[in-house]
């Protein structure tokens, strides 16, 4: 068995069964042996390691919590634990998996017809088909609920989609992109399965990112893109249905933040034990220990929070504000932890090879996607005061 790293300070993994623990360690081993050795190089080149896709497919984990269609039907707790294990080595690969397993498969699972589920979910579980989730637009991010400008219109041939989507993860190589668009007739938001071969879809890679560089984000232009009625998600009939998908996945982002923080902390801790100054390991200095204790304190608080969050989800009690509070708290604390990790490593903290700098950069994107700090704060604020401060 792999050695148990000590960042699980309150031994929260005791909550898992022996079988679940074995799966956690299997994913940890996969990440350490298959991903860790190549990740810095791909990050630097701003490219995706496509050779990992069949290997991840063999794990059979995508669609973690879904029942049937070849999906694992695991509890939400395990979905979180797996997201943490992936992000502990690389937040980009965890994000790739989250877009595939949560946002894309989740939209089909929650909003799709039986035929759509049969067609896509088993292949997406094995990663023979890759998905993307297109909600954000160049001019509409936080205000997506009321502000989407991408349109859909029903015609004799099906539906015609027009508009743009920005930041869409996996879009440059996805086989299917879930597109959320406003129906010009009813004014409601609808969801569509836009296949890569659909005419009228153009995807341009977003270049120059300083975070999550391995994730391939696209700018999608839909110009008179025809989608057949059979590819409309029949149970996506208003933004509430989109929000149901996001509620399910936001908890996973909180777990991912924990993984990102954990990876940086573990690498920094090891470094401080071996790096010597003034003839002693720097871990023996009080001020360095202060940094490390701050990190493990935050990390322990975050982990305790997300385990309870997933319990609520497994008990079917998860509310928007629960997921939002965890997302804000964990991504904020992660920013502190990765900066602390970088600090105790001195100059080497900014070198990719020392496996902390990448987490520092990636934490910035996790902080902003799936609802910014402000938006998730307003969701919690509305819940505790009864007043909505959105507009
Ligand atoms: P804006 O909404 O323009 O916000 C700018 C600032 O204003 C923020 O600080 C925000 O909090 C603040 N603000 C906005 N409204 C309010 C308000 N009412 N009160 C107070 N402050 C406010 N989207 C997808 O659909 N699919 C994806 O796969 C995807 N992947 C992504 C991957 C990455 C790496 C990134 C960076 C983004 C991704 N996104 C994706 C988009 C992401 O969800 C948005 O960036 C996010 O929702 C914020 O929107 P915005 O960037 O347009 O910022």
pLDDT tens digits, one per residue of 186-220: 999 999 999 999 999 999 999 999 999 999 999 99
Pairwise CA distance, residues 208 & 210, whole Å:
6
Average pLDDT of span 14-20: 94
* Joined tokens for residue 117: 């589920």
Tokens 């080595």 correspond to what residue?
Answer: 89
C-alpha of residue 141 to centroid of ligand 1, in Å = 4
For the CA of 212, the closest atom of ligand 1 is: 34
pLDDT beyond 70 at 4: no
- Cα gap 51→59, rounded to integer Å: 14
- pLDDT (mean) for 342-366: 97
CA distance 291 to 294: 5
pLDDT band, residue 5 (cuts 50/70/90): low
Q: Is the CB of 141 under 6 A from ligand 1?
A: yes
Query: Residue 330 corresponds to which tokens in the numbers above?
Result: 């964990």
Q: How far apart are CA 79 and CA 102, in angstroms?
A: 9
**Residues 48-71, mean pLDDT to the nearest whole number:** 98
The length of the chain in residues reads: 391
Residue 1: pLDDT band by 50, 70, 90 thresholds? Answer: very low
Ligand 1 pocket test, candidate residues 96, 141, 377, most atoms within 8 A of CB: 141
Q: In the chain, what percentage of residues exceed pLDDT 90?
A: 94
- How does residue 299 score in pLDDT terms, banded at 50, 70 and 90? very high
Span from the CA of 366 to the centroid of ligand 1 (angstroms): 11
212 lines ligand 1 (CB under 6 A): yes
Q: How far apart are CA 341 and CA 359, in angstroms?
A: 9
Ligand 1 contact, 237 CB (< 6 A): no
C-alpha distances in Å from residue 110, one per residue of 114, 246, 251, 290 = 11, 11, 16, 46
Residue 38 has pLDDT above 70, yes or no: yes
- What is the residue-averaged pLDDT of the chain? 96
Rounded average pLDDT over 268-296: 97
Ligand 1 pocket residue status of 144, Cβ below 6 Å: no
User: How many angstroms separate the CA atoms of 257 and 373, rounded?
Assistant: 13
Contact 59, 49 (CB under 8 A): no
- Express as a percent the part of the chain with pLDDT over 70: 99
Q: pLDDT grade, residue 6 (50/70/90)?
A: confident
Taken in order 322, 375, 131, 115, is the CA torsion positive or negative?
positive
Residue 247 pLDDT: 87
What is the token pair recorded at 71? 């999906």
Mean pLDDT of 171-192: 98
Question: Which segments within the chain are labelled E, that is strand?
Answer: 131-134, 151-155, 158-169, 176-183, 189-195, 201-205, 217-227, 276-277, 280-281
Between residues 7 and 24, the one the model is more confident about: 24
Does the CB atom of residue 374 touch ligand 1 within 6 A?
yes
Q: At 2, is the pLDDT very low, low, confident or very high (cuts 50, 70, 90)?
A: very low
| Interior/surface letters 309-331, b for 16+ CB within 10 angstroms, e for the rest | bbebbbeeebebebbbbbbbbbb
Instruction: Tell me the average pLDDT across 134-155.
Output: 96
Q: Given the CA of residue 180, which atom of ligand 1 is nearest to it?
A: 25
3-state class (DSSP) for residue 53:
helix
Averaged over 132-147, what is the pLDDT?
96
Task: Report the distance separating Cα 201 and Cα 364, nearest Å.
Answer: 30
Q: Which amino acid residue places its CA nearest to atom 50 of ligand 1?
A: 141
How many Å lie between the centroid of ligand 1 and the Cα of residue 38? Answer: 29
Give yes or no for residue 300 CB within 6 A of ligand 1: no
Q: What number does the ligand 1 atom closest to the CA of 165 have? A: 25
C-alpha closest to that of 329 among 288, 380, 385, 290: 380
- Give DSSP secondary structure letters for 274-324: H-EETTEEGGGSHHHHHHHHHHHHHHHHHHHHHHHHHHHHHTT---HHHHH
Predicted local distance difference test score (pLDDT) of residue 3: 47
Find out whether 121 and 63 touch, Cβ atoms under 8 Å.
yes
Please choose, from the candidates 357, 386, 385, 382, the residue with its C-alpha nearest in 3D space to the C-alpha of residue 90: 357
Q: How far apart are CA 353 and CA 351, in angstroms?
A: 5
The pLDDT, as a whole number, for residue 267 is 95
Q: For this complex, say whether ipTM is above 0.90.
A: yes
Distance 139 CA to ligand 1 centre (A): 10
pTM (2 decimals)? 0.97
Does residue 26 surpass a pLDDT of 50? yes
Task: Determine the atom of ligand 1 nearest the C-alpha atom of 169.
Answer: 28
């Amino acid at each position: 068995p792999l050695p148990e790293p000590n960042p699980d300070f309150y031994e929260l993994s005791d909550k898992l069964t022996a079988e679940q623990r074995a799966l956690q360690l299997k994913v940890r081993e996969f990440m350490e042996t298959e991903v860790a050795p190549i990740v810095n190089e791909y990050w630097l080149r701003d490219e995706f390691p496509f050779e990992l896709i069949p290997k991840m497919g063999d794990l059979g984990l995508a669609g973690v919590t879904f029942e049937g269609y070849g999906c694992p039907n695991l509890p939400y707790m395990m979905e979180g634990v797996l997201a943490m294990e992936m992000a502990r080595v690389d937040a980009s690969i965890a994000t790739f998996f989250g877009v595939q397993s949560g946002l894309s498969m989740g939209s089909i699972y929650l909003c799709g017809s039986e035929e759509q589920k049969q067609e896509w979910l088993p292949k997406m579980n094995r990663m023979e088909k890759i998905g993307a989730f297109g909600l954000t637009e160049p001019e509409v991010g936080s205000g997506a609920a009321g502000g989407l400008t991408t349109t859909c219109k029903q015609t004799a041939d099906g539906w015609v989609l027009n508009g743009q989507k920005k930041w869409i993860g996996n879009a440059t190589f996805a086989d299917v992109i879930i597109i959320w668009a406003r129906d010009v007739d009813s004014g409601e938001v609808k969801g569509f399965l836009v296949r890569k071969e659909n005419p009228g879809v153009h995807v341009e890679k977003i270049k120059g990112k300083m975070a999550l560089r391995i994730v391939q984000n696209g700018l999608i232009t839909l110009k008179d893109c025809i989608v057949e009625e059979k590819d409309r998600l029949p149970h996506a009939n208003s933004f509430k249905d989109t929000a149901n998908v996001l509620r399910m996945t936001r908890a996973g982002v909180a777990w991912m933040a924990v993984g990102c923080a954990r990876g940086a902390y573990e690498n920094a801790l090891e470094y401080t034990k071996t790096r010597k100054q003034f003839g002693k390991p720097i871990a023996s200095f009080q001020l360095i220990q202060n940094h490390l204790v701050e990190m493990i304190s935050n990390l322990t608080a975050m982990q305790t929070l997300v385990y309870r969050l997933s319990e609520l989800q497994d008990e079917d009690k998860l509310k928007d504000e629960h997921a939002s509070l965890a997302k804000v708290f964990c991504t904020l604390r992660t920013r502190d932890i990765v900066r602390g990790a970088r600090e105790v490593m001195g100059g080497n903290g900014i070198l990719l090879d020392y496996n902390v700098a990448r987490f520092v950069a990636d934490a910035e994107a996790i902080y902003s996607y799936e609802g910014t700090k402000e938006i998730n704060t307003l969701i919690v604020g509305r819940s505790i005061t009864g007043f909505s401060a959105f507009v």
